[in-house]
Amino acid sequence: MHQADDPLFSTFARANLSVERGEGVWLIDTEGRRYLDLTGGIAVNSLGHAHPHLAQALANQAGKLWHVSNLFEIPDQRRLGQRLVDATFADKAFFTNSGAEALECAIKTARRYHYVSGQPERFRVVTFTGAFHGRTLATIAAGGQAKYLEGFGPKVEGFDQVPFGDHDALRAAITPETAAVLVEPIQGEGGIRAVPDVCLKGLRELCDREGILLIYDEVQTGVGRTGTFFAYERSGAAPDVLASAKGIGGGFPMGVCLATAEAAKGMTPGTHGTTFGGNPLAMAVGNAVLDVVLAEGFLEEVRRTASLFRQGLASLQDRYPDMVEAVRGEGLLIGLKPTVPNGELITALREESVLAAPAGDNVVRFLPPLTITADEVREGVSRIDDALAALRAKRQGAAA
């Protein structure tokens, strides 16, 4: 369709692929071609496409109640909140429709905390280069990436960005106006860059020492993606506030802001709100996701499958040292950095009926469902092998 005739905003550079349905890790297009979906809706389809338990939960709820607003009690909302509290550091939960909204809630929670603590001058949030925190005016300011800020000025005030991994710059950025440090335990959009465990512990100590809050953006890393329920568990450095989304809804729009009771003490009636957040449909699906992810043995299986995937990609790095510069990530949040432009590899993968997503630092992201099987991992590695071989041959032919 010509752009002028397209009824949609031209904000997405969509691939020429029209999908009709999905089954687990597979996507089927309108012509019946099957694709191994290693994109997972960008880490959203945590349990794959059309998972029967999620589909049944949604269908059951759809026949009873869709929406009432937060003027009334929603039993499944309280149930899901309690399950998240029981499984994490948190005491309180606020449900949203997306990750950006969860981050907005987290930022407001931090500012409000200092306001009710008698320190209204503490409103600034320190963030890191390469970060991605969403597309609202506040969250693009927090992320600080020029390509997302261009044309949307003036930039929202209150965010101080420091180089990723620069401890001295971080310490220098803390001032009497600082309210919090906001960090992704693993930068997804930024190129699958993990913050070392020792650094997360150092951040926790720094925030405690300075009397400021530590906020984790686990929109992409949460709900089993890295092999633990949340990525911070690996380090043992719990936050004061955490934003999550994507996988928690398994494909249904949903996010959550989690916080300790102390951090959330300023979030009293009327200070924040949402029309659709925590609606009965989302809560039914969210509870169904936790039924699976928190079941005994599930995360152990995720770790085993992830290890198999990483081993397979490492073997491809050994086989194609001229094509693969690095393999990085945790669990089933995996990045492969090719020596060619990542878009070329993504195109070659699509020709092998494999779907992958781009990331910063020229990385190709693999974000399969947590339910991907060992056989499907082997199939994926085999197809990635074929794509690399075809791309190598193409480039060698062009150079001849």
Q: Provide the residue-wise pLDDT of the chain in tens; the chain has 400 residues.
A: 667 788 989 888 888 888 999 999 999 999 999 999 999 999 999 999 999 999 999 999 999 999 999 999 999 999 999 999 999 999 999 999 999 999 999 999 999 999 999 999 999 999 999 999 999 999 999 999 999 999 999 999 999 999 998 999 999 999 999 999 999 999 999 999 999 999 999 999 999 999 999 999 999 999 999 999 999 999 999 999 999 999 999 999 999 999 999 999 999 999 999 999 999 999 999 999 999 999 999 999 999 999 999 999 999 999 999 999 999 999 999 999 999 999 999 999 999 999 999 999 999 999 999 999 999 999 999 999 999 999 999 888 777 6
> Is 205 inside any structural domain?
yes
Residue 108 known to be catalytic: no
> Is 1 inside any structural domain?
no
Say yes or no: 91 and 233 in one domain. yes
**285 is known to lie in a ligand binding site:** no
- Strand pairing report for 333-338 and 363-366: antiparallel
**99 is known to lie in a ligand binding site:** yes
Say yes or no: 139 and 260 in one domain. yes
The CATH number of whichever domain residue 40 belongs to comes to 3.90.1150.10
Say yes or no: 264 and 331 in one domain. no
Say yes or no: 219 and 358 in one domain. no
Residue 123 known to be catalytic: no
Cis, peptide link before residue 154, omega less than 30° from 0: yes
Q: Which domain-ending residue is among 275, 294, 313?
A: 294
Structure tokens that stand for 326 in this block? 């690095």
Point out the catalytic residue in the list 132, 252, 309, 366.
132
**220 is known to lie in a ligand binding site:** yes
Point out the catalytic residue in the list 159, 160, 246, 309.
246
Structure tokens that stand for 250 in this block? 């398994």
Say yes or no: 119 and 214 in one domain. yes
Say yes or no: 207 and 93 in one domain. yes
Identify the pLDDT of residue 395.
85
**73 is known to lie in a ligand binding site:** no
> Is 316 inside any structural domain?
no
Say yes or no: 385 and 242 in one domain. no
H or E element at residue 21: strand 19-23
The CATH number of whichever domain residue 271 belongs to comes to 3.40.640.10
Label residue 6 exposed, middle or buried (CB < 10 Å: 0-12, 13-18, 19+): exposed
Say yes or no: 123 and 241 in one domain. yes
> Is 275 inside any structural domain?
yes
Residue 217 known to be catalytic: yes
Say yes or no: 269 and 330 in one domain. no
Say yes or no: 240 and 329 in one domain. no
Identify the pLDDT of residue 1.
61
- Enclosing domain of residue 105: 65-294
Between CA 382 and CA 385 the distance in angstroms is: 5
